[in-house]
């Protein structure tokens, strides 16, 4: 089969139907790529980006909704709110371990449609729950956990899109899919404060302790229509590629390689920090600086972090070393974490928030650098794809671990994260970045 490496005839037919194109997929054939492949792959990528962006929006809503539950009349304790914020990360990260292989089993279009459609259930459920102050904590925990599946979609999306493009274009395609998709975090942070302050006729308002009208349900309901639109686009414009499946023994080979575990640490320190801080930031600001109205500022951190992922990859290519970009980013992250601690300890919001923006900036650069490091370490494409899927799954646990750490004490949590960042920097320098490193990349 062409999609599995068998070459097409030297002369590519000119009368392929869409079904023929998919069944005879061979992006490494220049003639096929220019005549059919590029157009088909670009179409699938565009819809995939839209679906992935909405997935990150839905996952991030958990953090934003939980930070407003007190204003909506719910009397949950801070540790309960942090637990609600963390639950999606636990479910989503675990789901990533399985979602990576779903496009090959069910088809890329089929699984993208199903995994996108299922997000409607917790969206509507949570939108109904926030309108009744008698809704018990366990129901919120159920809906928040359910919404965590949206975080799992990243692994399936990346695995699917990777097969559409030739090797020479995979980096750009994966960068666009991941980078723009991650912007869903910033979109959720930007849109939510706007929509919860206005009536769209979707439900009654709740009066906050300050006497303002709060339409918290809008944070969920306004995304129903965009998801339906994307579902139509998926059905019409995406395709199911014939993807090779690997046995359990083949997949297990990556765990015997020490660099799988090393890169898991690197990726966790970059993306894990990004998604963890994204989930915890709204609650941290609301509890540590209750006098500050930062609703329309907090989108800046996720926007910068997601936006700089492609820059991290580009800079790594420019200096021919993803490891050095990652190392430098971790060093600055360590300094920024110390500054965040100082901001919390001195109750200086400007210091706290400015340092947090630097943190987000560095997570983006380091994350982009890691996408260059892995292919240079794991030159076998199938093995490299598995490592990306595994590291992305483990890193996503940051969305669970970081909010859980902040449940107890802000400063202690930040100290723990600073130590982890320092260890990640040391690992990156010793193994990958220094002169005469055993695995320069």
Per-residue tens of pLDDT for the chain, all 441 residues? 444 444 444 467 777 888 888 888 998 899 999 999 999 999 999 999 999 999 999 999 998 999 899 999 999 998 899 899 999 999 999 999 899 889 989 999 999 999 999 999 999 999 999 999 899 999 999 999 999 999 999 989 988 988 898 877 776 787 788 888 989 999 999 999 999 988 887 888 888 888 888 999 999 999 999 999 999 999 999 999 988 776 667 677 888 899 999 999 999 999 999 988 988 888 888 888 988 888 888 889 999 998 888 888 888 888 888 999 999 999 999 999 999 999 999 999 999 999 999 999 999 999 888 878 887 898 776 677 778 878 888 999 998 899 888 887 888 999 999 999 999 999 999 999 999 999 999
Judge whether 15 lies within some domain: no
Residue among 43, 272, 30, 321 nearest 173 (CA): 43
Are 125 and 65 contacting, i.e. CB atoms less than 8 angstroms apart?
Answer: no
260 and 230 assigned to the same domain:
no
In terms of domains, do 34 and 178 share one? yes
> Contact, 95 vs 217, CB < 8 A?
no
Q: How far is CA 45 from the centre of its chain?
A: 16
* Per-residue pLDDT, 248: 67
In a domain, 186, yes or no: yes
Same domain, 201 and 135: yes
Per-residue pLDDT, 121: 97
Same domain for 181 and 273: no
The whole-number pLDDT of residue 94 equals 93
Tally of domains in the chain: 2
Looking at residue 381, its pLDDT comes to: 64
Domain boundaries, position 293 = 246-441
Q: Decide which of 244, 263, 288 is a domain's last residue.
A: 244
Residue 11 forms part of a structural domain = no
Do 254 and 223 belong to one domain?
A: no
Q: Is residue 373 part of a domain?
A: yes
Report if residue 5 sits inside a domain: no
Query: Quick one: 306 and 432 in the same domain?
Result: yes
Give me the sign of the Cα torsion angle 320, 270, 432, 93.
negative
Listed residues 209, 244, 279: the one ending a domain? 244
Task: Kindly state whether residues 72 and 112 are assigned to the same domain.
Answer: yes
Q: Is the dihedral of CA 52, 54, 56, 58 positive or negative?
A: negative
pLDDT of residue 149: 95
Q: Residue 88 belongs to a domain with what CATH number?
A: 1.20.1250.20
For residues 200 and 272, membership in a common domain is answered with: no
Q: Is 392 within a domain?
A: yes
Residue 109 tokens, joined = 């279009």
> 397 and 280 in one domain?
yes
Task: Please tell me the distance from the alpha carbon of residue 258 to that of residue 264, in angstroms, as a whole number.
Answer: 10
Same domain, 79 and 186: yes
CA atoms of 337 and 285, how far apart (whole Å) = 15
Determine, yes or no, domain membership for 167. Answer: yes
With respect to residue 9, please indicate whether it lies within any of the assigned structural domains.
Answer: no
Asked whether residue 202 falls in the same domain as residue 347, the answer is no
Choose the final residue of a domain: 244, 267, 293. 244
406 within 8 A of 168, measured Cβ to Cβ? no
Calculate ∠ Cα 286-287-289, nearest 5°. 70
pLDDT of residue 309: 84
**Measured distance CA(167)–CA(165) in Å, rounded:** 7
* Nearest in space to 150 (alpha carbons), one of 85, 39, 56: 56
- Both 271 and 217 in one domain: the answer is no
């Amino acid at each position: 089969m062409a999609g599995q490496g068998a070459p097409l005839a030297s002369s590519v037919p000119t009368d392929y139907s869409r079904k023929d194109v998919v069944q005879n997929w061979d992006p490494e054939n220049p003639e096929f790529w220019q005549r059919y492949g590029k157009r088909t792959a670009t179409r699938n990528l565009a819809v995939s980006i839209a679906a992935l962006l909405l997935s990150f929006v839905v996952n991030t809503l958990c953090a934003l909704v939980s930070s407003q539950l007190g204003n909506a009349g719910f009397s949950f304790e801070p540790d309960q709110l942090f637990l609600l914020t963390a639950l999606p990360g636990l479910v989503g990260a675990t789901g990533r371990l399985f979602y990576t292989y779903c496009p090959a089993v069910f088809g890329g279009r089929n699984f993208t449609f199903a995994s996108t459609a299922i997000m409607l259930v917790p969206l509507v459920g949570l939108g109904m729950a926030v309108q009744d102050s008698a809704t018990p904590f366990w129901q919120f925990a159920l809906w928040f956990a359910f919404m965590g599946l949206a975080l799992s979609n990243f692994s399936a999306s990346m695995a699917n899109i990777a097969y559409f493009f030739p090797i020479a274009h995979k980096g750009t395609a994966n960068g666009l899919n991941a980078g723009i998709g991650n912007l869903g975090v910033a979109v959720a942070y930007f849109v939510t404060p706007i929509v919860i302050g206005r009536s769209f006729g979707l439900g009654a308002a709740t009066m906050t302790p300050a006497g303002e009208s709060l339409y918290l349900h809008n944070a969920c309901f306004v995304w129903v229509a965009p998801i339906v639109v994307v579902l139509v686009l998926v059905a019409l414009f995406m395709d199911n590629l014939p993807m090779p499946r690997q046995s359990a023994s083949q997949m297990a080979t990556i765990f015997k390689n020490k660099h799988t575990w090393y890169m898991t640490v690197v990726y966790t320190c970059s993306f894990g920090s990004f998604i963890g801080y994204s989930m915890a930031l709204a609650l941290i600001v609301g509890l540590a600086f209750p006098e500050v109205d930062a609703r329309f500022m907090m989108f800046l951190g996720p926007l910068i972090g997601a936006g700089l992922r492609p820059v991290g990859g580009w800079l790594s290519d420019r200096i021919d070393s993803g490891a050095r970009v990652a190392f430098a980013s971790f060093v600055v992250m360590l300094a920024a974490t110390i500054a965040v601690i100082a901001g919390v300890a001195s109750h200086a919001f400007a210091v706290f928030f400015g340092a947090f923006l630097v943190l987000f900036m560095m997570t983006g650069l380091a994350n982009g650098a890691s996408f260059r490091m892995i292919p240079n370490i794991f030159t076998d494409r199938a093995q490299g794809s598995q490592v990306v899927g595994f590291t992305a799954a483990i890193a996503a646990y940051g969305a669970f671990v970081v909010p859980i750490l902040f449940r107890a004490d802000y400063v202690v949590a930040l100290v723990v994260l600073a130590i982890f960042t320092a260890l990640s920097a040391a690992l990156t320098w010793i193994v990958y970045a220094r002169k005469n490193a055993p695995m320069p990349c």
